[in-house]
Amino acid sequence: MRRLLPRTLRGQLTTGLVALLALACLAVGVTTVVALEGFLVRRLDQQLSASGGRFAASLEHESRPDTDNRPDTRGQSEGTFGARLLGGSATRAAVVKDEADSAVPLTSGDRRALAALPVDGRGHTLRLSALGAYRLSAVTGDDKDVLITGLPLRPVEETVHRLEGVEAAVFGIALAVTGTVAALWVRFSLRPLRRVTATAMSVAERPLAGGDVAMPTPVVVTDPRTEVGRVGTAVNRMIGHVGDALERRQASEERLRHFAADASHELRTPVANIRGHAELALRHEGPVPPGVRRALDRIQAESERMSRLVDDLLLLARIDAGRALDHGPVDLTRLVLDTTDDARAAGPGHRWLLDLPEDAVIVEGDEHRLQQAIGNLLANARSHTPASTEVSVRLSADTDAVRLTVADNGPGIPGELLPEVFGRFVRADHGRSRTGGSTGLGLAIVHAVVAAHNGTIQVESAPGHTVFTLTLPPPRADG
């Protein structure tokens, strides 16, 4: 039943109003029909009483020799029925027709029904086979017989049917007009609710997960005492709370970005000094104890790692700040070829497969950053999979986009890590190793660089199959 109802509130209200009006029309129609039919039947009963049973009494003449044996039809209306019962059996039945009487054939059922008619002088409805529905009244005659007089119910039925037709037409038109007017009125009345809905949908469609988000204009509440007014007030409060929360989050993120950028800038000089002093100490010509040399080697290695971390943080800070990258034609085919060769040299234990298109793929962007992003993807596949893992790199281009896929048959990424794999300082503690001193910024840099080029990066992973798909805008036309 619920499926038959409209889904929208406007449709439900309109349907409810029309249904209530239809029930009211039905009640009025049934009441008027029943009242009219009762009134007309009572009029028939009054006519039967006023006729005095003269026509039925004249049927007694056939048994009296001092009469002319002709029924008295004077003053009787067309269709008046008369019958005489003697000993419980109908001896004669006639109907007035053209100011004369006409015999009526009676079936056995008609005779039984007439014999069963109460002799109380009141009107009773009976359907005769040859005449149809009649209102009949039975009284006792002078000869201890039963005289039955009746009037046809056809005029009553025709009048009632005519009324039913008129009511059906009038009520149908009234329902159609009322439904149209109700739909327009409900639509007009629900305009404030539509504004509330539009505002709520606007908030729901905004990218609230990140960045500076401008909240929509609050809903105009004309009367806060109404239900719609209360909903609008609640939505305005919700928008205000969400806006305040977003502003506080944005301010916190901005402070964090500034801190990361400032800290990275401040760390570059001392890290460089540490590396320089470590290299200078390692070049000392005099004898250096083995323990000191190992410590200096570790200092140099960790300072180099810290320098890479600082450079990565600075790159992310610049991209977060919206600083434009270099823009120019980039031979992506050559970049993929070079970075794959570098990855093969760094991971000779892996099987590297390369699939490039026949024609060079030229895109617009920052060559150095794109090379860094592709290199990070290959380094991620190399660092987090065991030796003998097969890594396939495929580059394709069409009129819609450029796609680079890096797939491996390693152990895969844990399912709980997939939603945040492109986050910063995210490392896989299970399923993939942490060898190589990963900082957890490689895939974050890939995501930031690709987004800065108006592209996307996606990942699908299962045990034995991991695929990173990098998508960039379509290639630049040559010439």
Is the pLDDT assigned to residue 287 strictly greater than 70?
Answer: yes
In the predicted model, what is the mean pLDDT of residues 430-457? 73
Question: Of the ranges 16-25, 80-89, 214-223, 289-298, which one carries the lowest mean pLDDT score?
Answer: 214-223
How many C-beta atoms lie closer than 10 Å to residue 175's C-beta? 16
- Identical fold between 54-152 and 328-472: no
Most confident of the following: 85-89, 114-118, 280-284, 351-355: 351-355
| Predicted pLDDT of residue 460 | 92
Task: State how far the alpha carbon of 90 is from the alpha carbons of 56, 109, 110, in Å.
Answer: 12, 12, 10
- Greater confidence (350 vs 13) lies with 350
pTM for the whole structure:
0.49
The torsion angle over the Cα atoms of residues 66, 70, 75 and 79, rounded to 10 degrees, is 150
How many C-beta atoms lie closer than 10 Å to residue 156's C-beta? 21
Spatial contact of 219 and 236, defined as CB atoms under 8 Å apart:
yes
Given 3.40.50.720, 3.30.565.10, 3.90.110.10, 3.40.50.2300, which CATH number is that of 328-472?
Answer: 3.30.565.10
- Which amino acid belongs to residue 474? P
Question: Of the ranges 35-39, 356-360, 413-417, which one carries the lowest mean pLDDT score?
Answer: 413-417
Given 2.40.340.10, 3.50.50.60, 1.10.1060.10, 1.10.287.130, which CATH number is that of 206-323?
Answer: 1.10.287.130
* DSSP helix/strand/coil, 406: strand
Domain boundaries, the chain: 1-51+154-189, 54-152, 206-323, 328-472
Most confident of the following: 120-134, 237-251, 435-449: 120-134
Given 2.30.29, 3.40.50, 3.40.1130, 3.30.450, which CATH number is that of 54-152?
Answer: 3.30.450
Paired strand residues for 124:
136
The torsion angle over the Cα atoms of residues 363, 366, 371 and 373, rounded to 10 degrees, is -100
